[in-house]
Homo-oligomer: A and B are copies of this chain.
Amino acid sequence: MNNEVYTKEQLYSMGPQRTFNNDAREAAFLLGGIGTGNISVGARGELRDWEIFNSPGKGNYLPYTFFAIRAEKEGEKPVAKVLESEIQPPYSKSHGFLSGEMAGLPRLRSSRMRGEYPFVWVDFEDSTLPVDVSMEAFTPFIPLNSNDSGIPGAIIRYKVKNTSDKPVKVSVIGSLANAVGHRGFALFGNLQANPQSLNEYRDEDGVRGLYYYTDLEESSLEYGSMCLMTRDSSVTYKTYWLSGGWCDGIHDLWDDFCDDGLLEKESVYEGVKSEMGESNLKVGSMGMYETLEPDQERVFEFIISWFLPNRIKAWDTDSCCCAAGGCETVKNYYATLFDDAWHAGRYLLENLDRLEGKSRDFHRALFGSTLPDYVIDAIASNITVCRSTTCFRIEDGTFLGWEGTFDQRGCCEGSCTHVWNYAQTLAFLFPDLEQSMRKVEFNLETDENGKMSFRTRRVFGKEPWDFLPATDGQMGTIIRLYREWKISGDDELIKTVWEKASKALDFAFEYWDSDGDFVLDSQQHNTYDIEFYGPNSLTNSMFFAALKAGAEIADYLGDEQHAAKYREALEKGSKRMDELLWGGEYYIQMIDDVNKYRYQYGKGCLSDQILGQLLAHVAGLGYILPEEHVRRAVKSIFDYNFRTSFRDHHNVQRTYVLNDEKGLLLCSWPKGGRPKLPFVYADEVWTGIEYHVAAHLIYEGFVDEGLTIVRAVRERHDGYRRNPWNEVECGHHYARSMASWALLTALSGFKYDMVEGTMSFKPAINSDDFKTFWSTGKGWGIYTQKKDPETGEIVWDIEVLYGSLEGVSVNE
């Protein structure tokens, strides 16, 4: 490495995961399943960002929704606090903190949060309490089991330990606003509660809690239910807070709780009301209590579940049919699994041992690996994308994705092929969901001429997206088809889509190769939202990888004509492109006058220049360009595009990295020739591209360089600058960031072919004492290899934690 940005120790550290202080305001850890929406846990242990209402909702808060503890040490004054650490500045909102935020109630003094997806822990400190308190929360996450990873609910536990020398009477309660059917927030931040919402206390089959429902029609977009439940038996509850005006409900609840830690089932107060301030909001509380002896520890376990079954049958309200009485709706997939929130919650509680056990297996396999800690963080944290509101599932099970989200709505619809190209996570963890995307792309969105709409609308029965086809996106779907086939060993998949997939590949010959030399050169729309003109290695490397994938599939299916066509094109095209575009250190774009068209890159060093090669590596396709040039190119990308400071970088485009931060530019012009108006985004930094370049560097043996990029990305996501569980680009939880999973395949040298039934590992680091998570469509678990200190031989072992390895040979 030329310039040592980090020490070896920093690059290869295997310490514990980072923790976040209570002032790390940006840190927000997502709870919730695939396609269910989310609640997040903030660094203070607070619940934030209620995104369960079939829409992104950063900043959404539920008034009066919180947990609280009351601890009464024998002979002393009881202490009651909201179970969050203290609110941190700024305190600058136009109306202070709203009553519903309860910022004026005592909180615990400080806290430290640690998130290891799918688990999050918050350790509180507070010297005024006679007990220690910590929080744990998660939603079950089990690779290969998309149903059990798609439960609309979360487990929230408070572990309380008596640290005093006397018995302590402890109560922990949760309060939850009934937000079923609500219509956003009115002036003054009041939740516009649905007057038809109702609360009920239930106790059945060892499960008890508050059930919130509504008497709206089941078909109503606003229909649904929510629950606060427990398996605990020492329960105290209040189904409805005192109704009245202003803050009557919380006033009464808090006084009641502080009084003895138990809740009156019903609140009555007859004082004459004032002339202002009524509210429809219904809130309930439920909690548990126990007297703890000195040193005794006790877990207070809650679950929150929700059921908002109906979403609009469209990407957004702009494109749904609102003329005749509102939008058409479609069910969420999870609504085909559960009848209501109580059902979902009961399922969670009744199956918790299994669900939690497998989730812990996954966590142990991934976080127990011998990869550098921040690499595990990069891999794990971006799993959240597929359980964020960027993604959802409709009733037939189809998995759909935005590119990312605005705070309050999705951003860039249609499972955009050229963005999702970069994502690897879903393919390795939930192959069935990733496959559903291929089926949409080929069988719904590819027309008879092979032109693929790169954003799906037909999935909702709408007119197709009417725009240019995307060269990189369309070629990527072929590579990904190959990957899905090899991960799953599922012939059915390729058989189902091959007719259209081959048309989509054939389309490139007709549409983008103007002179028949197997090098694409026409107007090529791509992921930079502009069109490249003339030969360039981004779209062509995608083309070549697609050709190789296509040839292999065609071979397998006995489609000899296509196989031969693709092989010839790959051979000739790859050679010709290398001749045309190799610039000595990296590939360039061939264009006579780089300023004739706006937004080209010409002689620039493009970070994406051989994306197709990286995708080929991950899919197991091998080299599609001369290995030597590939190695040199990827090294040049690092050398020229990685920056250790952005203070002297002039970027007038969007800005994702700034000041003293480090990152990898999308492009640079080390040898001059920068166009007057280079492609938009050229001066930006995208984590999705950083990860694939990092993985590629590792694949080519430049491990230090690859790790350097990853460390830089994670440093930028430190909880103060940005959320560690939310890498944004054109939206929150941006799909491209799921490129980080390629770090796992690269560092473990993981190869898989479930069609052939083979699997192998070749660690790029720590090969003498290596441990990693692995997964295919057949199973997942832990791979270990160690050097025998006596013989010097490498001894390996594989543990299957889910599924099976039947019929699969390893390292042979």
Task: Using CB atoms and an 8 Å cutoff, list the residues of chain A in contact with chain B.
Answer: 25-26, 58, 80, 86-87, 89-99, 101-106, 187, 244-248, 250-252, 254-255, 258, 269, 271-277, 404-407, 411, 467-468, 525, 529-531, 595-599, 646-656, 658-659, 676-677, 680, 683-684, 716, 720-723, 726, 728-732
Contact = CB atoms under 8 A, between A and B. Distances in A.
18 contacts: A26-B90, A91-B658, A92-B728, A95-B729, A96-B655, A96-B729, A97-B658, A104-B653, A104-B683, A106-B648, A244-B598, A244-B677, A247-B653, A248-B677, A255-B676, A274-B680, A275-B467, A275-B530
Contacts of A104: 646, 649-655, 658, 683-684
Contacts of A273: 598
A697 B726 CA distance: 52
B106 A254 contact: no
Given A104-B651, A248-B598, A652-B251, A95 B728 contact: yes
Given A187-B406, A683-B104, A595 B98 contact: no
Contacts of A531: 274-275
Nearest to A528: B274
Contact of A92 (B26, B93, B269, B646): B26
A721 B91 contact: yes
A281 to B, nearest CB: 14
Contacts of A105: 650-652
A676 B246 CA distance: 14
Number of copies: 2
Contacts of A652: 99, 102, 104-105, 247, 250-251, 254
B89 A720 contact: yes
A94 B56 CA distance: 11
A677 B269 contact: yes
Given A94-B732, A652-B250, A721-B90, A529 B276 contact: yes
Contacts of A716: 91
B92 A655 contact: no
Given A272-B598, A598-B248, A598-B271, A404 B94 contact: yes
Nearest to A405: B94
A499 to B, nearest CB: 29
A730 B258 contact: no
Contacts of A680: 246-247, 274, 277
B251 A94 contact: no
Contact of A276 (B187, B530, B721): B530
A730 B247 CA distance: 16
Contacts of A676: 251-252, 255, 269, 271
A97 B655 contact: yes
Contact of A525 (B102, B258, B275, B596): B275
Counting chain B CB atoms within 10 Å of each CB, the highest count among A26, A94, A105, A405 belongs to: A94
For the complex of A and B, the 4 pairs showing the least CB-CB separation, nearest first, are A104-B651, A103-B655, A104-B655, A97-B655
B96 A677 contact: no
Nearest to A93: B728
Contact of A246 (B90, B258, B599): B599
A646 B716 CA distance: 34
A650 B254 contact: yes
Given A89-B720, A94-B411, A276-B530, A99 B653 contact: yes
A133 B490 CA distance: 67
A264 to B, nearest CB: 13
A467 B683 CA distance: 59
Contacts of A255: 676
B598 A86 contact: no
B730 A95 contact: yes
Contacts of A405: 94
Contacts of A729: 95-96
A736 to B, nearest CB: 13
A56 to B, nearest CB: 9
Contacts of A277: 529-530, 680
A662 to B, nearest CB: 14
Contact of A654 (B89, B97, B658): B97
A804 to B, nearest CB: 42
Contacts of A721: 89-92
Contacts of A275: 467-468, 525, 530-531
Contacts of A250: 652
A716 B91 CA distance: 9
Contacts of A102: 652, 655
A338 B102 CA distance: 48
Nearest to A726: B92
B92 A272 contact: no
A658 B103 contact: yes
A88 to B, nearest CB: 9
Contacts of A720: 89-90
Contacts of A658: 86-87, 91, 97, 103-104
B650 A106 contact: yes
A319 to B, nearest CB: 13
A599 B650 CA distance: 59
